Amino acid sequence: MAISPHAPVLLAARWPLPADASAHGPSLDQHLILNLWIAAALLALVHVILLIGLLSRRRTRAPRRGWVVEYLPLSFLILLFAGLTIQAEILWAATRYTGANPAALQVEVTGMQFAWYFRYPGPDATFGRTDPKLAAPGEGNPVGIDPADSHGTDDIVTSELVLPAGRAVDLRLNAQDVIHGFAVPEMRLKQNAVPGETIHLHFTPTTPGTYAILCTQLCGTGHYRMQANLRILPPAAYSAWLASKQTGATP
Ligand SMILES: [Cu+2]
């Protein structure tokens, strides 16, 4: 269910996109397919017009109503593509700027050469301060939590992203060294993680399962192995997972 089989793509009756497992995914897919149908229809139309032009007798005089064949179709195309672009921007912004849920689950995502780390704020619901100079993956502190900040003592850091199905999530993307690309095809999410910036990405996962988190920026020699798992659990299983992490975090 989670990962669609890609081998018989050419013969498959269904659209060969990865399974949709987020609330905003279907509207993005619909817009993509609408764009492809419009492009295919315009391609066919252009060839029909070209064929008519080739087969019809050549005119000896220039047509009087040039604007009908030039400016009218041009205006139509400008409006069509502007409309499609605006709709695409609205869909893009829905996971960045609009529709943020104040009650969303907060998780920090940190990309580094060549791994993803995920941090949950713990029972105090506040992330502790971090300092890249304190980052020490070998000592269990890959994101550099400052021990001097009491908010950080209950923070939970994991190498897999575990989220409950049906709840809004607000990811804050960071990068420690170079630009990494956070991408989960089944969630229809793709966003660069940039050093020195915190970029928010919000969405609601819907379908429990295990999905691959990829890095889509060529970030160094180990780029190919920069992957992590996203596990979407039913809410009760998520609560149990979080509780097990919290007891594990207490010294
Ligand atoms: Cu990377």
Question: pLDDT digits over 227-249, tens only?
Answer: 999 999 999 999 999 999 887 54
pLDDT tens profile 21-55: 999 999 999 999 999 999 999 999 999 989 988 88
The DSSP bridge pattern shows strands 161-164 and 228-233 to be: parallel
Coil, strand or helix at 199? strand
Q: Which residues surround ligand 1, an ion (CB under 5 A)?
A: 180, 215, 219, 226
Task: Write the pLDDT tens digit of every residue in 133-147.
Answer: 888 888 889 989 988
Contacts with 155 (C-beta within 8 Å, 6 or more apart), sequence order: 119, 120, 121, 122, 127, 128, 145, 249
Measured in Å, residue 75 CA sits from the centre of ligand 1 at 43
Spacing, Cα 216 to ligand 1 middle (Å): 7
**What spacing in Å lies between the alpha carbon of 115 and ligand 1's midpoint?**
7
Q: pLDDT digit string (tens) for 87-113?
A: 999 999 999 988 778 889 999 999 999
Residue 62: the pLDDT is 63
Confidence check: pLDDT of 10 > 70: no
Six-digit token pair at 186?
A: 């089944």
pLDDT tops 70 at residue 6? no
Q: What is the pTM of this model?
A: 0.82
Kindly give the distance from the C-alpha atom of residue 154 to the centroid of ligand 1, in angstroms, as a whole number.
27
- Edge to edge, the sheet with strand 115-120 lists 156-158, 115-120, 105-112, 169-175, 199-203
Q: Which amino acid belongs to residue 31? A: H
Q: What is the pLDDT of residue 125?
A: 87
Cα(120) to ligand 1 centroid in Å equals 21
Query: Exposure of 204 by Cβ count < 10 A (0-12 exposed, 13-18 middle, 19+ buried)?
Result: buried
